[in-house]
């Protein structure tokens, strides 16, 4: 009689797909995941509450630490799911304490290679701001923005957006009882090290509306990450039809990348202006829900030498914004390899700021941070492009950059 010998898996077989993570999921998605492992419907709400509390209040990274969840359920969870965050490819720390992470996301669908995004943390004495990405690349091509030269690879999923917050809190020890990082001297003084979130990393967040909205729901959940919506700011290049909807459905603070006061110039700098010109954009701003003097819209204005930085432009800017509860943020242009603009001179920025100041807008110039690690606005592509695959293997650099 012939003996059957077990046949080993063919060498070409792909490694098993990593277990899907629960870290960063919304309450609804968590309930769904619990359903998949047979948790009865009437128990799911309570279980979701437990999971959220462990993942988002305590930051646990192992199901074993969830001590009020039965052993049996913990092992069923661990069989099917993980609590992984996005994979960190590199971490850079600037001399001013700014941290930048290059993150690799799992390959999905038609992705040809693992997509990468960047997340930046900017500490100040009284606050810590996390700048997160909403897309891999961007479909828009603002002429001064490095991300805009990269095609859109894909939208981020809600858990990949929340995952950036969880990862950053892990790295800077921003969980109850966590050990602070080696170089913690520049972290803010309060208990929470991440107090503000800005959707100003890679991508146009209003072109990934639902996923960004769901992610911000997780971020603002009072029984979870508990960020105040007044400390979450979405920045948009001006996707007019989605602005009011964002206000109604998400209700965070809003920043508008204005950058020019005439349509002709804005058409060139921020090409979405051809579709939604300045007047329509400002009308949408006027109607943004919940605007008051305590809840103003931030208007971002990048300072480009000889392009948009004349004092006539400054006066027109102030005139255009009259009647809108607004803050003005002048951003020194951050050059990148191949960019065709120069940043306005410091003198010109000051003269421009004076006009804006005299109209009643306080401290309008944004201090550039993390320049030594290319972490500034609009530079979030260069570093990932510069890094070769062989260099990426380098261990995380905790200390200096």
How many residues comprise the chain?
401
Exposed/middle/buried for residue 400 (C-beta within 10 Å: 0-12, 13-18, 19+): exposed
Could you tell me how many residues of this chain bind ligand SF4 (CB under 6 A)? 11
CA distance 120 to 165: 10
Nearest to 130 by CA among 169, 182, 87: 169
Select the span of 134-142, 161-169, 293-301, 309-317 touching ligand SF4 (CB under 6 A).
Answer: 134-142
- 377 catalytic? Reply is yes
The 287-306 contact track toward ligand SF4, x by CB under 6 A, reads: --------------------
Number of CB atoms found within 10 A of residue 389's CB: 8
Residue 260: helix, strand or coil by DSSP?
A: coil
- The 3 state secondary structure assigned to 8-51 is CCCCCCCCCCCCCECCCCCHHHHHHHHHHCCCCHHHHHHHHHHH
The 337-366 contact track toward ligand SF4, x by CB under 6 A, reads: ------------------------------
The CA R_g of the chain, rounded to the nearest whole Å, is: 23
Contact assessment for residue 69 and residue 50, using Cβ atoms and an 8 Å cutoff: yes
> Contact with ligand SAH (CB under 6 A): which of 330, 331, 373, 374?
331
CB of 380 to ligand SAH, least distance (A): 8
Could you tell me how many residues of this chain bind ligand SAH (CB under 6 A)? 16
- 118 catalytic? Reply is yes
Residues facing 199 on adjacent strands: 234
DSSP string, 50-105: HHHIIIIII----GGG-TTS-HHHHHHHHHH-B-PPPEEEEEEE-TTS-EEEEEEP
141 binds, among ligand SAH, ligand SF4, none (CB under 5 to 8 A by kind): ligand SF4
The 232-251 contact track toward ligand SF4, x by CB under 6 A, reads: -----x--------------
Number of CB atoms found within 10 A of residue 315's CB: 16
Select the span of 4-12, 143-151, 213-221, 340-348 touching ligand SF4 (CB under 6 A).
Answer: 143-151
Positions in 204-223 near ligand SF4 (CB under 6 A): 204
Q: Which entry of 116, 145, 377, 383 is annotated as an active-site residue?
A: 377
How do strand 326-332 and strand 99-104 relate by DSSP bridges? unpaired
CA angle 64, 69, 73 (to 5 degrees): 80
Positions in 255-294 near ligand SAH (CB under 6 A): 257
The 295-324 contact track toward ligand SAH, x by CB under 6 A, reads: -----x-x----------------------
Q: Which is nearer to ligand SF4, 48 or 202 (CB)?
A: 202
Q: Which entry of 118, 157, 160, 204 is annotated as an active-site residue?
A: 118
CA distance 27 to 29: 5
Residue 341: helix, strand or coil by DSSP?
A: coil
Number of CB atoms found within 10 A of residue 124's CB: 17
Q: Is residue 145 a contact point for ligand SAH (CB under 6 A)?
A: yes
Please report which helix (H) or strand (E) contains residue 254, including its range.
Answer: strand 253-257
Contact assessment for residue 315 and residue 361, using Cβ atoms and an 8 Å cutoff: no
The 211-250 contact track toward ligand SAH, x by CB under 6 A, reads: ------------------------xxx-------------
CB of 134 to ligand SF4, least distance (A): 9
Q: Which is nearer to ligand SF4, 369 or 381 (CB)?
A: 381
Instruction: Tell me which residue has its CB nearest to ligand SAH.
Output: 378
Select the span of 182-190, 216-224, 313-321, 329-337 touching ligand SAH (CB under 6 A).
Answer: 329-337
Tokens of 51: 């999971």
Q: Is residue 39 a contact point for ligand SF4 (CB under 6 A)?
A: no
Q: Is residue 317 a contact point for ligand SF4 (CB under 6 A)?
A: no
Which residues participate in catalysis according to the annotation?
118, 377
Which residues contact ligand SAH by CB under 6 A?
142, 144-145, 200, 204, 235-237, 257, 300, 302, 331, 333-334, 377-378
Which residues contact ligand SF4 by CB under 6 A?
138, 140-142, 145, 147-148, 203-204, 237, 257
């Amino acid at each position: 009689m012939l003996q059957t010998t077990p046949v080993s898996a063919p060498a070409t077989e792909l490694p098993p797909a990593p277990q899907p993570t629960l870290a960063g999921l919304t309450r609804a998605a968590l309930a769904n995941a619990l359903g998949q492992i047979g948790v009865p419907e009437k128990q799911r709400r309570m279980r979701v509450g437990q999971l959220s509390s462990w993942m988002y209040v305590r930051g646990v990274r192992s199901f074993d630490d969830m001590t009020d969840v039965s052993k049996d359920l913990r092992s069923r969870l661990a069989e099917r799911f993980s609590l992984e965050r996005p994979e960190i490819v590199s971490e850079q720390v600037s001399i001013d304490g700014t941290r930048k992470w290059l993150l690799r996301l799992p390959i999905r669908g038609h992705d040809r290679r693992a997509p990468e995004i960047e997340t930046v943390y900017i500490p100040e004495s009284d606050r810590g701001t996390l700048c997160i990405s909403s897309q891999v690349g961007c479909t828009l091509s603002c002429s001064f923005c490095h991300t805009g030269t990269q095609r859109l690879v894909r939208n981020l999923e809600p858990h990949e957006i929340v995952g950036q917050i969880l990862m950053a809190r892990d790295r800077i020890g921003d969980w109850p009882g966590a050990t602070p990082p080696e170089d913690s001297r520049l972290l803010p003084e309060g208990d929470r090290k991440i107090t503000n979130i800005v959707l100003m990393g890679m991508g146009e967040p209003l072109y990934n509306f639902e996923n960004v909205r769901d992610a911000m729901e997780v971020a603002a959940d009072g029984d979870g990450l508990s960020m105040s919506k007044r400390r979450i700011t979405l920045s948009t290049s001006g996707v007019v039809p989605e602005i009011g909807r964002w206000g109604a459905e998400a209700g965070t603070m809003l920043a508008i990348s204005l950058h020019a006061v005439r349509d002709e110039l804005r058409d060139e700098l921020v090409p979405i202006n051809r579709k939604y010109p300045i007047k329509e954009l400002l009308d949408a701003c006027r109607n943004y829900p919940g605007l008051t003097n305590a809840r103003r819209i931030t208007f971002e204005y990048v300072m480009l030498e000889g392009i948009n930085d004349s004092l006539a432009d400054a006066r027109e800017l102030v005139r255009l914004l009259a009647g809108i509860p607004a803050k003005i943020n002048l951003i020194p242009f951050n050059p990148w390899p191949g960019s065709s603009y120069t940043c306005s001179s410091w003198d010109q920025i000051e003269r421009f700021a004076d006009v804006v100041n005299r109209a009643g807008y306080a401290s309008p110039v944004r201090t550039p941070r993390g320049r030594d690690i290319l972490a500034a606005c609009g530079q979030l592509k260069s570093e990932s492009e510069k890094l070769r695959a062989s260099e990426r293997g380098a261990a995380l650099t905790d200390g200096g950059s």
